[in-house]
A and B are shown apart, each in its own frame.
Chain A
Amino acid sequence: MKWYRPAVVWAGAAALAGCFGCSSDAQPGVGSSGGAAGMLGAPGPNAGAESAGSAGTVSAGGTGNAGAAAASDGCEKSPAPLRTQGTLLSLPLELVLGGKPFVFGEANELSGGSSLVPLNLRFYISEVELLRGAGQANVAVDVVTAAGAPAPYGVYLFNAEDADSNTLTLLAPPGEYTGLSFALGIKLGCNQQNPAGLSDPLRSTSQMTWPHTGGFLFFRYEARYMAAGSAGASGAPESLPAVHMGGDIKVERVPRVTVLGALSVPASGKLEKGLSVVMDEILKGATANIDVSDVAVGLLSAPEAIAGERLRRQLPDLHVFVLEP
């Protein structure tokens, strides 16, 4: 079925975004590709820097062409791969809270006798780049399936409910890297699509669709907090019941995250490296006492959307993602 032509549909919807109170201003440091501050301290000189280098094919055993993820207005289901050869870099993600595994669907005990049961936790990752040393441009890499096939739309969806979804896999040229950066969400071209008619992971069954602005959620979290002794909420960050972080379909507002850590990608075989998702940082950002009233009006005034906007703005100052040593 091809009756939705997103560019036309969302040209109309985009015109409405302002009505919903969406800021048309990109947030400094979090909005544009490659422009974010690092998650683990200041990134290297080229972390996040855009490159004019074109995508290329890796020759066997050679190095890949460097180049930042090309910005595209489109959102092709089968985007042209940046390279057809490379090494699979698997990044299994693990949720962590208070230094311990944060187990989905279970009562995770907190200090003081309270507990937290995560009920839903999903997020998108796209536009991934590997970082190299000072003076060297980043290397854009393809998001792929576990088998190495290009991921539809170039997008990875983490769904805590589905263990099969919990590994981010990239096709990387062999080499030494100092970390990676990625969009915690989807690029503007995809965010402007109407999910009706799209396939996984952008189908509405992703649970990431959002009529507020016509765009998608980038990060979704819901949980049940049980205070010590009785059910109910308190002022603790862990008592936050929901976080819905989205963007804006008029301008690029997807936050970009940089994670520093050595990645030595071999010429053959594969590299697996754990990537922790630190929930303490998520909750800290989502409960930050910052003013988001410029966007938190109308439909976006829902508590979970306000929490999401706080998180989006705080991401450059947080350490949400941590590579295992």
Chain B
Amino acid sequence: MAARIYLVAATLCSVALLSGCSNDPADATPSGAPSLIVSTTPAGFPEGTSAEQAPADNALTEERAQLGKRLFYDPQLSRTNEVSCNTCHQQANAFADPNVVSAGVEGRTGTRNAPSIVNAAWGKTFFWDGRADSLEEQAGQPIENPLEMDLALSDAVARVAADASYVAAFKKAYGEAPSEASLQKALASFVRSLVSGNSPYDRHLRGDDSAFGPQRKRGEALFLSEKAECFHCHPGGELTNEGFFNNGSYVAGGDTGRQQVSGRVGDIGKFKVPALRNIELSAPYMHDGSLATLEDVIEHYAAGGRGDVTTDPLIKPLSLSSEEKADLVEFLRSLTDESLLTDARFAP
């Protein structure tokens, strides 16, 4: 069976080669500096660059993304001036948080692990429970959350409005003084610029298997099979269906996830399916950061989750050998885009 799936992959690859998949170098700004806005799209993603995913009222421009980057790294956006967006979304961790749960102002902690925000431009909803329908809406919530940055958006605006260089940057980007809306739009623009599409898996889909050897191919075949069943939520290409599912990580009495947004009993324990690019870098895993390693994740699914009655019916114990588990982990490691970690465009 694995051989058959290799053939599918090989077919995809050959076609990708024929059509000349883009792996463009970063576009340059008029000054010659690398632009935050690129035309590269991760392999297997929908048509359209990250800029083309932006809403009509917040077109992605270099000025907006650069302003957003400055805000992203600015601890002024927290009440105590100690926490920035970057505190929980670190480049070395694929813009996720290596801590089980993130620490906000004064060391306050919540109940969820901060997810990676890379390739979020193609997302449909945001946060583990999907309570935000746009990156713009998402951007303001951590600032105001008492467990995170604990600062009213109006106060955040007042702080940046007191800085002439910020005022000039907002004027250049949005043609107006800083406002709550433009602050959120700028942050969303930077997040929208965080594109990662140069992993061995991306290159594999484009026809370059130089870093996608037999074990990774075995892992990919398993990933797309009924034996491992990963594809139900992580379809090939995007590796997320953007849906909400109870993957067996919920335990009775715990964080009910999507149910807090919808109010539906059927949504208890459902959380948004994360995209998997750079998953190796974004440990720990699950909404609560309760699984430390990729091996732990595979064991979780092999066991069929933690056994709560609310677990999705497609989450069932799996029969996987130790070799197969290792193959799956190796496939997941093929999703790492090393260039993301050192991309100076995303650094402060």
Give A residues with C-beta under 8 Å from B: 1-5, 8-9, 12-13, 16, 19-20, 104-107, 117-120, 161, 194-199, 203-207, 209, 211-212, 214, 222-224, 226, 231, 241-242, 298-299, 301-302, 304
Instruction: State the 5 A-B residue pairs at the shortest beta-carbon distance, nearest first.
Output: A105-B264, A12-B11, A196-B237, A241-B313, A105-B266
Nearest CB to that of B41 among chain A residues?
A1
10 contacts between A and B (CB under 8 A): A8-B15, A105-B264, A106-B266, A117-B265, A196-B44, A196-B205, A205-B124, A207-B241, A212-B226, A242-B314
Please, how many angstroms separate the alpha-carbon atoms of A298 and B267 in the complex?
32
In the complex the two chains form, what is the Cα distance from A310 to B180 in whole Å? 54
Are A119's CB and B266's CB within 8 A?
yes
With contacts A222-B313, A241-B313 known, is A209 near B225, CB below 8 A?
Answer: no
Complex alpha-carbon distance, A259 and B272, angstroms: 36
Closest to A231 in B: B309
Q: Given A4-B15, A107-B265, A211-B224: A223 and B313 within 8 A (CB)?
A: yes
For chain B residues 206-227, which have a beta carbon within 8 Å of chain A?
206, 224-226
- B313 and A204 contacting across the interface, CB-CB below 8 Å: no
Residues of B contacting A8 in the complex (Cβ-Cβ under 8 angstroms): 15, 18
- List the A side residues contacting B146 at CB < 8 Å: none
Asked if B310 is at the interface (CB within 8 A of a chain A CB), the reply is: yes
**Closest CB in chain B relative to A148 CB, distance in Å:** 20
Produce 1/0 per residue, B232-265, CB < 8 A to A: 0001111011111010000000000000001011
Task: Give CA–CA (A42, B221) in the complex, Å.
Answer: 45
Chain B's closest residue to A230 (CB) is B309
Contacts of A199 in B (CB 8 A): 46-48
Instruction: Say yes or no: A209 contacts B313, CB within 8 Å.
Output: no
| Contact yes or no, A203 B265, CB < 8 A | no
CB of B177 closer than 8 Å to a CB of A: no
Q: Are A13's CB and B8's CB within 8 A? A: yes
Known A16-B7, A211-B236, A224-B313; contact A9-B15, beta-carbon cutoff 8 A: yes
Q: By the criterion CB–CB under 8 Å, are B15 and A198 in contact?
A: no
Among candidates A197, A212, A214, A242, residue contacting B47 with C-beta atoms closer than 8 Å:
A197
B267 touches A3 (CB 8 A): no
Q: A197-B46, A205-B124 are in contact. List 7 more A-B contacts (CB 8 A).
A: A3-B20, A196-B12, A197-B237, A211-B5, A224-B309, A231-B309, A241-B313
Distance in Å: Cβ of A199 to nearest Cβ of chain B: 5
Most-contacted residue by chain B among A5, A105, A204, A231 (CB, 10 A): A204
B266 and A118: CB pair below 8 A?
yes
Would you give the shortest CB distance from A207 to chain B, in whole angstroms? Answer: 5
- Decide: A119 and B241 in contact? CB cutoff 8 A: no
CA A177 to CA B1, docked complex, whole Å: 49
Contacts of A106 in B (CB 8 A): 264-266
Q: Choose from A4, A107, A222 the contact partner of B12 (Cβ within 8 Å).
A: A4
User: Once the chains are docked, how many angstroms separate the CA of A4 from the CA of B264?
Assistant: 39
Q: How far is the CA of A298 from the CA of B205 in the complex (A)?
A: 25
**Does B22 make an interface contact (CB < 8 A)?**
yes
Q: A13-B11, A197-B44, A205-B238 are contacts. A3–B19 as well, Cβ < 8 Å?
A: yes
A161 contact set on B, CB distance < 8 A: 244
Chain A residue contacts of B241, Cβ below 8 A: 204-207, 209
Residues of A within 8 A of B4 (CB): 16, 19-20
Which of B41, B244, B267 has the most CB atoms of chain A within a 10 A radius of its CB?
Answer: B267
**CB distance A222 to B314 under 8 Å?**
yes
Chain B residues with Cβ below 8 Å from A223 are: 313
Q: Are A5 and B15 in contact (CB under 8 A)?
A: yes
Tell me, yes or no, whether B276 is within 8 Å of chain A by CB: no
On whether the beta carbons of B15 and A104 are closer than 8 Å, the reply is no
Cβ contact within 8 Å between A299 and B225? yes
Interface string of B18-59 (1 = CB under 8 A from A): 111110000000000000000001011111100000000000
Q: Are B265 and A196 in contact (CB under 8 A)?
A: no
Measured CB to CB, the nearest residue on chain B to A203 is B46
B236 x A205 contact (CB < 8 A): no
Answer yes or no: B312 CB below 8 A from chain A CBs.
yes
Least CB distance, A61 to chain B, in whole angstroms: 35
User: Contacting A4 at CB < 8 Å: which of B16, B246, B262?
Assistant: B16
**Alpha-carbon separation in the docked complex, A197 to B43 (Å):** 8
B166 interfacial contact with A, CB 8 Å: no
Question: Would you call B47 and A205 a contact (CB within 8 A)?
Answer: no
Q: How far is the CB of A110 from chain B (nearest CB, A)?
A: 15
Whole-angstrom distance between the Cβ of A206 and the nearest chain B Cβ: 8
Chain A residues within an 8 Å CB radius of B244: 161
Nearest residue (CB) in B for A232 is B309
Shortest CB distance B61–A (Å): 21
B47 adjacent to A211 (CB under 8 Å): no
B346 within 8 A of A: no
Chain A residues closer than 8 Å to B44, beta-carbon distance: 196-197
A205 & B8 in contact (Cβ 8 Å cutoff): no
Identify the interface centre among B11, B18, B124: most chain A CB within 10 Å of its CB.
B11
Whether the Cβ atoms of A9 and B11 lie closer than 8 Å is yes
User: Which residues on the A side are within 8 Å of B7 (C-beta)?
Assistant: 12, 16
- Is A205 in contact with B243, judged by CB distance below 8 angstroms? yes
A1 and B235 CA atoms in complex are apart in Å by: 18
CB distance from B180 to the nearest CB of A (A): 27
> Does B231 count as interface, using CB distance less than 8 angstroms?
yes
Question: B240's closest neighbor in chain A, by CB?
Answer: A205
Q: Does A1 contact B15, Cβ atoms closer than 8 Å?
A: no
User: Do A1 and B231 contact each other (CB < 8 Å), given the known contacts A13-B11, A194-B12, A299-B225?
Assistant: no
Expressed in whole angstroms, the minimum distance between the Cβ of A204 and any Cβ of chain B is 4
- The distance in angstroms between the C-alpha atoms of A223 and B313, with both chains bound, is 7
In the complex, the answer to whether A224 meets B266 with C-beta atoms within 8 Å is yes
Contact of B266 among A13, A117, A298, A301 (CB under 8 A): A117
User: Quick check: A195 and B235 within 8 Å, CB to CB?
Assistant: yes
